[in-house]
């Protein structure tokens, strides 16, 4: 049985979003609904919670949640960028929009979905099981150089070329353990366990590519921002530097005022900040949370408030 997902930085997320009775909140990554429940309690009977997720497991979790929380609820089974687009097209606005990126424990621990290098399973890794591209398809059909680029860019894998070559040599790969064997064989013995499990970076990279995670995030952030009413808040919890860098840059761009060269005596750009950062530098889990929930170790929360004045 998959474990229940324990939401990370839950108190910190609620504090950053500061939900008020009657708010409209959009949870772009509903998962097991752990964060959503906390937000729903705060927005109360006058509030509305919209949950988005592309995984049918989240749709099941939503059904239970909707029956228990005090607010109005709605679920959109979609990629978060298209879910946000739907809300735009309908002319909706929100007071709170948040994303808790990556996988849920339910996904990792459902062995047959192939997200984990700890279980032997078919090479799948799709968050949306109806999607065409799976890990098997990627590993068995993509060009070796393209696979190496994925491993380098999304996994920061030092032995990307060697692993991609080994994958190509062993085709067709069918299971997670076949992939783990290929990775282990490709990494020189002294480096194999240097940075944790040798398959960790490759599995992350393949998952990011299969689910198009970074492009989705790049598309979703401006959509989420546009959906916010002035005074509304956005928050995102990232689990690796590739995600966090995007969130950080996006929020910093909106919080920046004048962009004139420093030697210009008066401002010529007329630009004023659209956002105020809620927790400069981001928020990470306390040692207590990391001890209780190791998944929180790499989590970083960033948040911002949309200023009332339009630029």
User: Which residues make up the interface to ligand SAM (CB under 6 A)?
Assistant: 5, 7, 29, 31-35, 52-55, 58, 79-80, 100, 102-104, 127, 216
Q: Which is nearer to ligand SAM, 124 or 168 (CB)?
A: 124
In the complex, least distance from residue 70 CB atom to ligand SAM, rounded to whole angstroms: 18
Rounded to the nearest whole angstrom, what is the least distance from the CB of residue 65 to ligand SAM in the complex? 9
Report, in Å, the least distance between residue 80 CB and ligand SAM.
Answer: 4
Cβ proximity to ligand SAM, 103 vs 167, nearer residue: 103
CB of 29 to ligand SAM, least distance (A): 3
The tokens for 149 are: 């680029």
Q: How far is the CB of 37 from ligand SAM (least distance, A)?
A: 8
**Contact in structure between 151 and 163 (CB atoms under 8 Å):** yes
- CB burial class (10 A; 0-12, 13-18, 19+) of residue 219? middle
Q: Distance from CA of residue 242 to its chain's centroid?
A: 10
Residue in 208, 194, 201, 224 with CA at minimum distance from that of residue 86: 224
184 contacts 117 by C-beta, under 8 angstroms: no
Question: What is the token pair recorded at 298?
Answer: 């790499």
**Minimum distance from CB of 35 to ligand SAM (Å)?**
4
Would strands 300-306 and 275-277 be described as parallel, antiparallel, or unpaired?
antiparallel
Closer CB to ligand SAM, residue 35 or residue 248? 35
Q: Which is nearer to ligand SAM, 54 or 233 (CB)?
A: 54
Q: What is the DSSP letter of 206?
A: H
Residue least distant from ligand SAM (Cβ): 31
CB of 95 to ligand SAM, least distance (A): 18
Asked if residues 226 and 282 have their Cβ atoms less than 8 Å apart, the reply is no
Q: Is residue 226 within 8 Å of 97, Cβ to Cβ? A: no
Whole-angstrom distance, CA of residue 174 vs CA of residue 199: 16
Query: b/e string for 169-184 if b means 16 or more Cβ within 10 A?
Result: ebeebeebbbbbebbb
DSSP letters along 234-262, please?
EEEEESSHHHHHHHHHHHHHHH----S-T
């Amino acid at each position: 049985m998959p474990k229940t997902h324990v939401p990370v930085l839950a108190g910190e997320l609620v504090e950053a979003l500061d939900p008020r009775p009657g708010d409209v909140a959009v949870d772009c990554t509903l998962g097991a609904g752990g964060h959503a429940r906390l937000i729903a309690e705060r927005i109360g009977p006058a509030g509305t919670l919209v949950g988005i997720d592309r995984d049918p497991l989240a749709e099941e979790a939503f059904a239970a949640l909707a029956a228990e929380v005090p607010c109005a609820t709605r679920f959109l089974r979609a990629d978060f960028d298209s879910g946000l687009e739907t809300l735009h097209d309908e002319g909706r606005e929100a007071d709170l929009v948040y994303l808790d990126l990556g996988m849920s424990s339910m996904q990792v621990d459902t062995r047959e979905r192939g997200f984990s290098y700890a279980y032997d399973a078919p090479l799948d890794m799709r968050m949306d099981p109806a999607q065409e591209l799976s890990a098997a398809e990627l590993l068995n059909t993509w060009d070796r150089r393209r696979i190496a680029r994925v491993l380098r860019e999304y996994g920061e894998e030092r032995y990307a070329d060697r692993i991609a070559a080994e994958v190509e040599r062993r085709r067709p790969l069918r299971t997670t353990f076949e992939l783990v064997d290929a990775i282990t064989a490709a990494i020189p013995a002294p480096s194999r366990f240097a940075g944790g499990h040798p398959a960790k970076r490759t599995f992350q990279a393949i998952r990011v590519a299969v689910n198009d995670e970074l492009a989705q995030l790049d598309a979703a952030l401006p959509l989420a921002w546009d959906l916010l009413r002035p005074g509304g808040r956005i928050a995102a919890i990232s689990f690796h530097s590739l995600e966090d860098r995007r969130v950080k840059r996006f929020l910093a761009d909106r919080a920046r005022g004048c962009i004139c060269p420093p030697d210009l005596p008066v401002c010529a750009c007329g630009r004023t900040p659209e956002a105020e950062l809620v927790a400069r530098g981001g928020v990470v889990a306390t040692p207590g949370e990391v001890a209780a929930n190791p998944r929180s170790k790499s989590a970083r929360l960033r948040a911002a408030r949309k200023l009332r004045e339009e630029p």
